[in-house]
Amino acid sequence: MPQWAGKSKGNKLGYSIFVFVVRTFGVLPAYFLLRFVSLYYFLFSWSSSGHIYRYFRHRLKFGAVKSLFKIYRNYYIFGQTLLDKIIVMAGIENRFTYDFDGENNLREMVRQGKGGILLSAHIGNWEAAGHLLKRLDTKINVVMFDGEHQQIKAYVEGVTGGKNFNVIVIKNDMSHVYAIGDALGRNELICLHADRFLPGNKTVVKNFLGADAEFPAGPFQLAAGFNVPVSVVFAMKESVSHYHFFGSELLKKGDTETKSLFAERLSDEFKNDLERKIHLYPEQWFNYYNFWMN
């Protein structure tokens, strides 16, 4: 069975070194240093590398040699996106450029005054489209598991300053649901990542890239329950300094549609859009565990 531990790799010292290199020498030298870190994970992170290999080899049907090469590329691009996220959110000088497809959809979401929910995944790096977040003139709240070590979180938040960006931590007492409701009441946007779950969470099964996979039911049920506009959003890295943001047309519950049917429709829309992005950007899906049921 697929199982994610709810934790991310990395440490405070690693973040500090890369931010120092960026601020002192620029982005490209930091990317060069990332090549060695990526090689380390490629050579020694056998568990996660095995899962990525099966994703490339069996789900995307790449050849054996190409799949091995893609593992290294996946680690390398993942490192870039982590660094890019900190650079953009901290306001460090950079030359990033953006294309925005669907920005009008998010502007309409804000204009309606009810808040809205953005469904995303651990693909690309939509947070790096921070330029767009400021232009929307509202706060973005990202709902996530509290899997990062506290000192790493404190360091990243210290660097970024938390501008226009807030984290709502998922808790067992369900207090995060009330925090989401309060944020929506302030016409803020909520981003839910809908491609990971912890053991014991309720899931929905979808045929994904040719095999059955479990998706968390929570994000879709929350979106349907609050009855606010929903958009599926991704930001994909297309070159060293360029990102392409995608925001789908607004999805709303029909007048005669039940919450459960709307949640099911949202899960189908999300799954289909994620598949399309994976085929376009196969190296940018960063799920390092067995996502499929067999």
Tens of pLDDT, residue by residue over 31-55, are 999 999 999 999 998 888 999 999 9
Lowest mean pLDDT among 22-31, 65-74, 85-94: 85-94
User: Which of the pair, 277 or 24, is modelled with greater confidence?
Assistant: 277
Question: What pLDDT does 251 receive?
Answer: 96
Q: Which residue has the higher pLDDT, 88 or 246?
A: 246
Q: Which is nearest to 195 in space by CA: 124, 130, 247, 127?
A: 124
Choose between 3 and 25: higher pLDDT. Answer: 25
Q: Which amino acid is at 219?
A: P
What per-residue confidence (pLDDT) applies to 6?
44
- What pLDDT score does 128 carry? 73
The two structure tokens encoding residue 193: 């990542």
Rounded to 5°, angle at Cα 25 from 19 and 27: 65
- 119: phi then psi, degrees, rounded to nearest 5: -95, 125
Residue 134 has pLDDT above 80, yes or no: no
Instruction: Give the least confident one: 36-40, 97-101, 124-128.
Output: 124-128
Q: Are 166 and 94 in contact (CB under 8 A)?
A: no
Rounded CA gap, 88 and 126, in Å?
11
| Average pLDDT of the chain to the nearest whole number | 85
Q: Compute the average pLDDT of residues 66-74.
A: 96
Whether residue 103 contacts residue 132, with contact meaning beta carbons closer than 8 Å, is answered with: yes
Give the pLDDT score at 144: 77
Residues 142-151: what's their mean pLDDT? 61
pLDDT value of residue 234: 94
Q: How many CB atoms lie within 10 A of CB 265?
A: 17
Q: What is the pLDDT of residues 245-262, one digit of tens each?
A: 999 999 999 989 999 999
More confident residue, 173 or 229: 229
Question: For the purposes of burial, counting CB atoms within 10 Å of the CB of 120, is it exposed (0-12), middle (13-18) or buried (19 or more)?
Answer: buried
Higher pLDDT, 120 or 87: 120
Residue 13: pLDDT band (50, 70, 90) is low
Tell me which of 66 and 13 has the higher pLDDT: 66
Give the global pTM. 0.88
**How long is the chain?**
294
Compute the average pLDDT of residues 209-237: 93
Report pLDDT digits (tens) over 161-217: 555 567 777 777 778 888 999 999 999 999 989 998 877 889 999 999 999 999 999
Across the range 10-36, mean pLDDT stands at: 80
Name the pLDDT band for 17 (thresholds 50, 70, 90). confident
d(CA 235, CA 248): 12
**In the predicted model, is pLDDT for residue 87 greater than 70?**
yes
